């Protein structure tokens, strides 16, 4: 009996340690700027057939083996999807204009994207039998949205790494066991909105991490904002998001304005309630000499939460 007791104690300890580890793993934010298995481009914009606004999309294969990608474009207007396949040779870079699409080989055929804006997701689909982490974690990408007025928003795609080997499944689980989790909190430094001179009017783009693209069923989620000014005073706001959404900070709440905040810069923590969300800011400001400046503003990440993407 004493021996059994010891074994039980050891087993319990092992379980506790395993559970502790799992719990820890569940709190991980996805590390960025590394070769990834999933890329999410939260902002793609095409206006006037590309004459007013267009987006240059860039992908790069960081591995020395060919990579097949299954990509989907989700227009914000309809929350539907258009999917296509891309094949990249070892180390191959690739870029195309969203308004024009790309037809480069028998496998790679990218349709032009329509609608004012949307998001794109790309998934590495390895060959059967070649399903190691190296086969999955191979790509990176970025995008530059540019307008005829000279405004440019450049940003890197959000990368999600595969964390365990195995076959690709259309039920993509961002659970920290199959793929890395989605970020729980996203921290941004933003310029407070100001109407006078200088004019500052930044925007935020939000996309839910979980998406059912197989059944095209959208689950709305509440997104909470905790705003902290330079005096450590805290304000909050919230909106509901169904799929890809783009709004000015002022449209969300007056908490983002200089008049309310009282400081030029703010720190905002963005968090989805029902499902984690991915976000990026578009900094828009006017220089002291009156020129307009624009830049993509990517978040710092904290913590992780599980999400699921269902592919058709």
Partner 1 sequence: MRRVAVAAMLSALVLAQPALAAPTTLGVDWSAVLKAVGGALDSWRLSPFGNKTPTAAPTRTRTTAPNPTVTRTASSTKTETRTRTPSATQSPTVTITPSRTVTATRQPTDTRTPTLTRTATRTYTPRPTATPIPTTSNDGQIAFDLAPGAPPAQKLASAYIVLPYIVSTATQDTRIELMNMSAQDIQLQCFYVRQADCVEVGFFLRLTANQPLSWLAYDGASNPLAFSSVPPFDGVGELKCAVAADRPELSAHNALQGRALVYERTTGETVGYDAIGFQRLTPGAYDGVINLDGFTYEECPDRLHFAVLTRQSGGPVSELITVTCAEDLLTQMPTQTTVQLAIVNEFEQVFSSSYRFTCIASQPFSKLSTLSKSTLGTDSAHLVVRGVSSPLIGLVVDRFSGQSNTLHTTANEPFLEGGRESTVIFP
**What part of residues 198-227 is at the interface with partner 1 (CB under 8 A)?**
none
In whole angstroms, how close is the CB of 98 to partner 1 at the nearest point? Answer: 13
Number of chain residues interacting with partner 1 (CB under 8 A): 87
Among 202, 261, 259, 192, residue whose Cα is nearest residue 232: 261
Q: For residue 10, what are the contacts with CB-CB under 8 A and spacing of at least 6?
A: none
For residue 47 the two structure tokens come to 């206006």
39 versus 309: smaller Cβ distance to partner 1: 39
For residue 59 the two structure tokens come to 């992908």
Within 54-73, the residues that bind partner 1 by CB under 8 A are 54, 56, 58-64
Q: Which of 131, 173, 298, 308 binds partner 1 (CB under 8 A)?
A: 298
Per DSSP, 138 falls in state: -
80 versus 152: smaller Cβ distance to partner 1: 152
Q: Is 304 in the site for partner 1 (CB under 8 A)?
A: yes
Q: Is 197 in the site for partner 1 (CB under 8 A)?
A: no
Among 309, 301, 226, 299, residue whose Cα is nearest residue 275: 309
90 versus 166: smaller Cβ distance to partner 1: 90
229 versus 244: smaller Cβ distance to partner 1: 229
Q: Is 267 in the site for partner 1 (CB under 8 A)?
A: yes
Q: Is 147 in the site for partner 1 (CB under 8 A)?
A: yes
Q: Is 302 in the site for partner 1 (CB under 8 A)?
A: yes
Q: Which of 24, 85, 214, 259 binds partner 1 (CB under 8 A)?
A: 24
**Per-position b or e across 2-33, b if 16+ CB within 10 A of its CB:** eeeeeeeeeeeeeeeeeeeeeeeebebbbebe
Q: Which of 41, 73, 84, 146 binds partner 1 (CB under 8 A)?
A: 146
139 versus 223: smaller Cβ distance to partner 1: 139
**Per-position b or e across 144-166, b if 16+ CB within 10 A of its CB:** ebbbeeeeebebbbbbbbbbeee
Q: Is 297 in the site for partner 1 (CB under 8 A)?
A: yes
84 versus 285: smaller Cβ distance to partner 1: 285
Query: Phi/psi at 81 (nearest 5 deg)?
Result: -145, 150
Beta strands across the sheet bearing 93-97: 93-97, 53-61, 139-147, 152-156
Q: Is 285 in the site for partner 1 (CB under 8 A)?
A: yes
- Determine contact, residues 124/69, Cβ cutoff 8 Å: yes
Binding piece for partner 1, criterion CB under 8 A, among 4-12, 77-85, 166-174, 293-301: 293-301
């Amino acid at each position: 009996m004493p021996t059994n007791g010891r074994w039980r104690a050891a087993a319990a300890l092992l379980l506790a340690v395993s559970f502790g580890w799992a719990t820890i793993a569940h709190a991980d934010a996805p590390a960025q700027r590394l070769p990834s298995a999933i890329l999410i481009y939260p902002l793609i914009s095409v206006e006037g057939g590309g004459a007013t606004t267009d987006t240059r999309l860039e992908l790069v294969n960081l591995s020395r083996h060919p990579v097949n990608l299954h990509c989907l474009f989700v227009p914000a207007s309809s929350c539907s999807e258009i999917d296509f396949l891309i094949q990249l040779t070892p180390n191959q870079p690739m870029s195309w204009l969203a308004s024009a699409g790309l037809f480069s080989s028998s496998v790679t055929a990218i349709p032009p994207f329509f609608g004012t804006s949307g998001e794109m997701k790309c998934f590495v689909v390895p060959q059967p039998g070649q399903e190691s982490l190296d086969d999955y974690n191979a790509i990176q990408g970025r995008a530059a949205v540019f307008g005829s007025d000279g405004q440019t928003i450049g940003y890197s795609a959000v990368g999600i790494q595969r964390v365990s080997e195995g076959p690709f499944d259309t039920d993509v689980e961002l659970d920290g066991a199959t793929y890395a989790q989605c970020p729980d909190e996203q921290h941004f430094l933003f310029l407070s909105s100001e109407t006078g001179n200088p004019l500052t009017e930044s925007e935020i783009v939000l996309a839910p991490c979980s998406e059912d693209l197989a059944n095209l069923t959208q689950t709305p989620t509440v997104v909470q904002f905790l705003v902290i000014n330079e005096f450590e005073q805290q304000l909050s706001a919230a909106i509901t998001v169904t799929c890809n959404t783009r709004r000015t900070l002022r449209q969300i709440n007056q908490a983002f304005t200089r008049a309310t905040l009282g400081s030029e810069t703010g720190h905002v923590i963005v968090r989805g309630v029902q499902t984690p969300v991915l976000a990026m800011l578009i900094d828009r400001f006017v220089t002291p000499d009156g020129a307009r400046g624009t830049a993509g503003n990517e978040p710092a990440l904290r913590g992780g939460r599980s999400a699921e993407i269902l592919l058709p």
